[in-house]
Structure 1
Amino acid sequence: MAAGALLLAGDHVRIEVVVSGPIRLEIVETAGTVAYAMRGASARWDVAIELTDGASLQWYGEPFVVAADADVTRSTSAQLDGGCTAEIRESLVLGRYGEVGGTLRTQTRAWIGADLLLAEDLDLSPENRTGWAILGRARCLDTVTALGHRLPEAPHTLQLEGTGSIARRLVHQQHESDLGGTSGAVGSEPGAVGRASGAVGGVSGAVGRTAGTH
């Protein structure tokens, strides 16, 4: 679907990315994803990443739009060996233009070896996300997460206790974010280069989708 991917009531999308060896993998999405109204039902979007033996991943995702009356749970899990690096952009948009977006709950976990590097849970349901400590008046949450290396110091970049960083922007329109570039830190090591692309997200691994009744 070159025009975009759809997430409908009852869908469960699982994307697995497995990279082993001195490989630099870049995932390029050809279009964003829209989660549509679900009439009281819900959907899931799960991403599992595993990097071993010096692998590097760069994945700058296209916008993930949660339309009015959608209810989505989205999780990202990343397991890295020491010496591996990843840089992942997740651009979450609550509602299409002129809409009050639906409910989105996210969970992010990342490990380097046996050490937990990042654990974050966000409840972006309409009744919770307008608090000053979450989104306030913003409609879009744009995040670049670096694992196994650090992003440059900047006012809106959080350096994690372990080797990693989170750069985040809260904006009303997704195109207002300045996180569209890359830090250049990922993939600096020599090795093979791979690129995958797709509307739902091209991966080196498996993509699974189970569709319910719509």
Structure 2
Amino acid sequence: MLTRIEVVADAVRDRCVLVTGLLSPRRLPAGDGVVRIALIAAGALLLAGDQVRIEVFVQGLVKVEIVETAGTVAYPTRGGSSSWEVDITLTDGATLSWHGEPFVAAEDAEVTRTTRLALDDGCTAALRESLVFGRHGEVGGTLYAVLRAHVGGELVLAEDLDLAPDSRAGWAVLGTARCLDTVTTFGFRLPESGQTLQLEQPGSIARRLVAAQHESDLAQTWAALPWPDKISACS
């Protein structure tokens, strides 16, 4: 089932259309020029066979903030699978921030998480994604993470992560870490750091491998993001 968030900037009142699927989007109070949306599970997620699809379309000079009210658990699928698919389109100077809560792959889960972004030149986006493997006492299941981002019609980032238990245990992937915490930006750069990858086009990836999300310092990185008037200084 499709969840859709559509926001179009308007001089009087920004227009917002929300469609409920497996997730229910709810508009929250926000200041001028900002549309804040909470994503709330409409039922138990993610079970075997669940296919979450989320479309986000933002047009014009408005900032859309998406927040998740709780983490998501991909439960054991017993030979099946589940998926979480997001398509984001930003046009005409739009800005998006999406702060994801922990996404947990429980023992014996098999889930594919796909994110696709298409940004016009002049648009900006920042995403926080925290992937956690296993609930307490579990090794955690299989998760495949796919990301494709286009800016101005040009592919700026393509990433495919095979995070099955055997694959992620390698020292060059997660090693003994249980959480892969990431802040990714497009259209502007994070400050230079020994732990930040700068993309060829304006954009950055800051990533931490930790035992639990609360051990990551990316909450501070997220809080310091230059929204929205300082973005030009970091491009």
1:184 aligns with 2:212: no
Moved more, 177-186 or 91-100: 177-186
| Equivalent position of 1:145 in the other structure | 184
Stretches (4+) displaced over 3 A: none
| Equivalent position of 2:35 in the other structure | none
Larger Rg: 2
Task: Give the superposition deviation at 1:135.
Answer: 0.5
How far apart, CA to CA, are the structure 1 residues paired with 2:226 and 2:95?
10
| Equivalent position of 2:78 in the other structure | 39
Q: Share of identical aligned residues, percent?
A: 65
How far apart, CA to CA, are the structure 2 residues paired with 1:176 and 1:85?
28
Report if the CA contact (8 A) 1:15-1:46 is conserved. yes
Which runs of 5 or more structure 2 residues have no equivalent in the other structure?
1-39, 231-235
| Equivalent position of 2:36 in the other structure | none
Q: Give a deviation string over 1:39-73, Cα, whole Å, max 9, x none.
A: 01001100110000000001111000000000000
How far apart, CA to CA, are the structure 2 residues paired with 1:119 and 1:75?
11
| Equivalent position of 2:88 in the other structure | 49
Which runs of 5 or more structure 1 residues have no equivalent in the other structure?
190-214
Equivalent residue in structure 1 for 2:203, among 164, 170, 173: 164
Q: Give a deviation string over 1:95-148, Cα, whole Å, max 9, x none.
A: 011101000001000010111110000000001001111101101000000001
How far apart, CA to CA, are the structure 2 residues paired with 1:131 and 1:98?
20
How far apart, CA to CA, are the structure 2 residues paired with 1:24 and 1:64?
24
What is the number of residues matched between the two proteins? 189
What SS does the aligned partner of 1:98 have?
A: coil
Report if the CA contact (8 A) 2:190-2:225 is conserved. no
Q: TM-score normalized by structure 1? A: 0.85
| Equivalent position of 1:11 in the other structure | 50
| Equivalent position of 1:72 in the other structure | 111
How far apart, CA to CA, are the structure 2 residues paired with 1:59 and 1:186?
13
1:82 aligns with 2:96: no
